[in-house]
Amino acid sequence: MAEFRASLHDAVPDSTLSPALAALWWAAKGDWDQAHRIVMNESDASSAWVHAYLHRVEGDLGNAGYWYRRAGQPVAKDTVEAEWERIVAALLA
């Protein structure tokens, strides 16, 4: 997690990151659009989870709910910051 956080000082994410982690990287940098572009055409559960998170950040809870279901994840109840941490930790494990 520390290495991932440190990489946020870079101009672009590491090219070896999964699409889901790359999207979370861009989300942490404040670029919601870039993060969304990355996961919107991915079909794996991890990307769906990040997609849900992004729509939650956006405030589109109905759309977020759809993506949480696609990801097989419960709808998050914690802060978006805590959810970002939880998803990153899960995807790095």
What share of the chain has pLDDT > 90, as a percent?
99
Tens-place pLDDT, residues 18-27: 999 999 999 9
DSSP 27-81: HHTT-HHHHHHHHTT--SHHHHHHHHHHHHHHT-HHHHHHHHHHHT-PPP-S-HH
**Residues 50-57: what's their mean pLDDT?**
98
In this prediction the pTM is: 0.95
Question: Over the chain, what is the mean pLDDT?
Answer: 97
Sketch the domain layout of the chain as residue ranges: 18-92
Q: How far apart are CA 6 and CA 79, in angstroms?
A: 22
Class of domain 18-92: mainly alpha
CA 31 to chain centre: 12
pLDDT at 38 (0 to 100): 98
